[in-house]
């Protein structure tokens, strides 16, 4: 019983620290946020912070790693060789995930330094598709495949990023639908040809 209460307390502390951090990055640059800022805003003692994180950088890395782990989990649920022909299931899953913690992601992508994190997400998306796809190796090694993969990953992530930053006034469902429409009319995606093989 004691362990369960301790576990709940740890989750609550981490949630309070994360919320304080999110509020602070809307007010000042990440580099200027201190542990004192965090514990004052979260109304916790210094020991509670250090029970979970070494410093602000560790807090940022752990938050980023949690998101990346979730992204990988979402991606692992799908088979990528059908993505260009039927992207809707994966994109709906991503949209549902974003909506579940929408304010957090809005703040995150607006924070200074978010570009490096978004680039990492794009790289993970590309790596997962390269590894898990059953597309023949001869095609996966081709420049054409690489071009299409980077185009799709970069475009999709950028579109969600712009939407989260308020640059597109529509629902996330409509963003998902438009991505599917773009991929369906893009003539190169489903029919990239390398030698006599089709992608």
Same domain, 48 and 92: no
- Find the length of the chain: 199
Chain segment 15-72, per-residue pLDDT in tens = 999 899 988 988 888 888 999 999 999 999 999 999 999 999 899 888 888 888 888 8
User: Is position 91 within any domain?
Assistant: yes
Same domain, 48 and 66: no
Same domain, 69 and 13: no
Give me the number of domains the chain comprises: 2
The SS3 of residue 126 is helix
Predicted structure pTM score: 0.69
Same domain, 43 and 77: no
Listed residues 53, 74, 92: the one ending a domain: 53
Same domain, 26 and 86: no
User: Is position 197 within any domain?
Assistant: no
Q: Alpha carbon 43 to chain centroid distance?
A: 29
Same domain, 106 and 11: no
Token readout for 55 is 């410093």
User: Is position 90 within any domain?
Assistant: yes
Give DSSP secondary structure letters for 71-125. HHHHHHTS-GGGTTT--HHHHHHHHHHHHHTHHHHHHHHHSTTHHHHHHHHHHHH
Chain segment 121-172, per-residue pLDDT in tens = 888 878 877 775 666 777 778 888 888 888 888 988 889 889 988 899 999 8
Q: Alpha carbon 99 to chain centroid distance?
A: 12
Same domain, 108 and 148: yes
Domain that residue 72 falls in: 61-192
CATH of the domain at 23: 1.10.10.60
Same domain, 163 and 65: yes
Same domain, 31 and 91: no
Question: What is the number of alpha carbons within 13 Å of residue 36 lying toward its C-beta?
Answer: 1
């Amino acid at each position: 019983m004691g362990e369960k209460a301790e576990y709940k307390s740890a989750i609550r502390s981490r949630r309070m620290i994360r919320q304080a951090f999110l509020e602070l990055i809307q007010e000042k640059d990440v580099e200027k946020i201190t542990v004192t800022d965090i514990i004052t805003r979260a109304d916790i003692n210094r020991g509670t912070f250090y029970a979970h994180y070494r410093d602000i950088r560790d807090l940022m890395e752990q938050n980023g790693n949690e998101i990346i782990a979730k992204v990988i989990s979402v991606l692992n649920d799908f088979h990528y060789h059908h993505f260009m022909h039927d992207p809707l299931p994966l994109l709906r899953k991503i949209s549902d995930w974003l909506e579940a913690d929408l304010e957090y992601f809005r703040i995150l992508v607006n924070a200074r330094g978010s570009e490096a994190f978004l680039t990492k997400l794009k790289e993970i998306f590309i790596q997962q598709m390269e590894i898990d796809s059953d597309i023949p190796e001869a095609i996966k090694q081709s420049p054409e495949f690489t071009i299409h993969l980077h185009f799709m990953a970069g475009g999709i992530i950028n579109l969600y990023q712009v939407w989260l930053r308020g640059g597109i006034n529509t629902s996330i469902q409509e963003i998902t639908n438009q991505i599917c429409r773009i991929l369906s009319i893009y003539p190169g995606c489903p029919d990239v040809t390398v030698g006599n093989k089709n992608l």
